[in-house]
Amino acid sequence: MNKGSCLCNSVTFTVDAFEPLIGHCHCTMCQKFHGAAFSTFAEVKLHHFHLVSGEEVLSRYTANNQTVRSFCKVCGSSLFFESSFNQTAKTIEVALACFDNLSESVTPDAHIYTESKACWYEINDQLPQHKQYRTS
């Protein structure tokens, strides 16, 4: 079982299985939300995602584009992301760095929204790069 948590362990969750889409997102919102050059999110079907503890300390921010980002209001850890696509597909995206252990091999498969990547970061791996989402 794949177990994850926020920095202070107030929010804990498990994931039974991942979807194949695991991307490094370079959009400006991810940069600001994570305080980093990019974020790495793994897509999970809602029936494979289980919030174990911390519902009462989860805070949600809805951006102008109607995406919802969830974080721990105790420690500030960036945890989950949901777009209109996720809502329709009944999935949630989970920040890969928040997992305490992974019981299965998880490998990012692409860089997305690279048209807004941090100017001080150079992508130097062989993963496909998309200027916007994967269809760009």
Q: What is the pLDDT of residues 79-132, one digit of tens each?
A: 999 998 899 999 999 999 999 988 778 899 999 999 999 999 999 999 999 999
Within a domain: 127: no
Within a domain: 135: no
Within a domain: 23: yes
Structurally, how many domains does the chain consist of?
1
CATH assignment at residue 24: 2.170.150.70
Range of the domain at 39: 2-116
Instruction: Please state the pTM of the whole predicted model.
Output: 0.89
3-class DSSP state for residue 128? coil
CA distances from 11 to 16, 37, 86 (A): 17, 24, 21
Taking a C-beta distance cutoff of 8 angstroms, is the pair 36, 10 a contact?
no
